Amino acid sequence: MIALETAQKNISSVGFLDVEIDPTLDLFEEIEKLKKEKNAILLAHYYQEADIQDVADYIGDSLGLAQKAKETDAEMIVFAGVHFMAETAKILNPTKKVVLPDLKAGCSLADSCPPDEFAAFRAKYPDHVVISYINCTAAIKAQTDIICTSSNAKFCVQSVPEDTGIIFAPDRNLGAWLQKELNREMVLWDGSCMVHEIFSLEKIIKLKEVFPEAKIIAHPECEKPILDIADFIGSTSQLLRFSKESEHKEFIVVTESGIIHQMKKNAPGKTFIPAPGTEETCACNDCPHMKLNTLEKIYLCMKYEMPEILMDESLRLRAKQPIDRMLEISRQAGLI
């Protein structure tokens, strides 16, 4: 067993507090107790494992989570999601303590856009407005005019006058989909999400032959050939709403598998089939970053209030402006 002090020192290399937990503890009960004791709110993304979703105070997509993080008056925000999400919570609510169960819960999409390279790229288009998907680091947000999520991206692009050029970063698939939907050229950064690019078109088409009545529902981070055969495209919360409200009973779900837990809860009589990836054996549609969070790590990070998200104040202020713009556009569009 590692001593607490050693585990605390190890956090920056290991990513989480690696302390043994009494195996007789009921972690659901303990987490509930800690929420009250510490006036903490547990926010979880739809891609978290089912147990984490069930113990969370709020489950949402990136937009909902940002909004919730901004408005909460809890003293501590426990973020069951990935690093850029917890960072966004800190940017929006700096006086609160924000903890992330595992600091190594990153994002391949955020990693695909290094700040120095992005600065050089931006410099080539000095008159362009920069719109960045929220799945990016604070250093990219600080170089951005408007942040967007997949729930509000169309409104964010449409907020820029027609005669003004746009750089869209970091997701090339979401960017290409927006270009097509809005009939608007943009300069795209060449980044992508490892989870949404792994789906196999061929296998999805075969699956559709087995379930001919099933509707294919996909996240816009997927590649174009997948989006071309999708019956509905939307953010996680939009996919959830569509699957609940639609008259259809079967769905092939082309996004991270965690969302299926809420889909089944919201529409118990319906069938949700996770879309297959290109590999035979892997759980391809599990985000390895999101799935680093566990109930054990959540319990420990609430108990010891670490790992904590800390940020330089001038970076925070620069990163906040484009998020505030996004929230304003979302409010005007009636999305929040």
Q: Can residue 174 be called a binding residue for ligand SF4 (CB under 6 A)? A: no
Closest CA to 160 of 180, 146, 139: 146
92 binds, among ligand 13P, ligand SF4, none (CB under 5 to 8 A by kind): none
Pairwise CA distance, residues 56 & 36, whole Å: 13
Beta-bridge partner residues of 215: 251
Among the candidate windows 21-29, 172-180, 234-242, 285-293, which touches ligand SF4 by CB under 6 A?
Answer: 285-293
Among 48, 53, 62, 330, indicate the residue that binds ligand 13P (CB under 6 A).
62
Order of strands, sheet of 271-274, starting from the edge strand that comes earlier in the sequence: 232-233, 215-218, 250-254, 271-274
Among 112, 132, 135, 159, indicate the residue that binds ligand 13P (CB under 6 A).
135
Residues in contact with 313: Cβ distance below 8 Å, sequence separation at least 6, in sequence order = 94
Residue 312 Cβ, how far from ligand 13P at the closest point, in Å? 24
87 binds, among ligand SF4, ligand 13P, none (CB under 5 to 8 A by kind): none
Residues 241-300 that bind ligand 13P (CB under 6 A): none
Q: Quick one: CA torsion of 49, 15, 111, 78, rounded to 10 degrees?
A: 50
Please count the residues of this chain forming the interface with ligand 13P, following the rule CB under 6 A.
10
Nearer to ligand 13P, 87 or 221 (CB): 221
Distances (CA, A) of 286 to 77, 196, 236: 24, 10, 14
DSSP 258-306: THHHHHHHH-TTSEEEEPPBSSSSS-TTS-TTGGG--HHHHHHHHHHT-
Distances (CA, A) of 294 to 17, 71, 82, 131, 193: 12, 25, 12, 33, 22
Nearer to ligand SF4, 88 or 135 (CB): 135
Handedness of CA 167, 238, 219, 236 (dihedral sign): positive
Give Cα 214 distance to the centre of its chain: 26
Nearer to ligand SF4, 134 or 329 (CB): 134
Closest CA to 143 of 156, 132, 133, 153: 132
Nearer to ligand SF4, 170 or 322 (CB): 170
Closest residue to ligand 13P using C-beta atoms:
61
Please count the residues of this chain forming the interface with ligand SF4, following the rule CB under 6 A.
13
235 binds, among ligand 13P, ligand SF4, none (CB under 5 to 8 A by kind): ligand 13P
Instruction: Copy the structure tokens of residue 63.
Output: 């937009």
Q: Can residue 236 be called a binding residue for ligand 13P (CB under 6 A)? A: yes
Residues 252-271 that bind ligand SF4 (CB under 6 A): 256
108 binds, among ligand 13P, ligand SF4, none (CB under 5 to 8 A by kind): ligand SF4
Q: Which residues make up the interface to ligand SF4 (CB under 6 A)?
A: 47, 82, 107-109, 135, 193-195, 256, 287, 289-290
Residues within the interface to ligand 13P (CB under 6 A): 61-62, 135, 149-151, 193, 221, 235-236
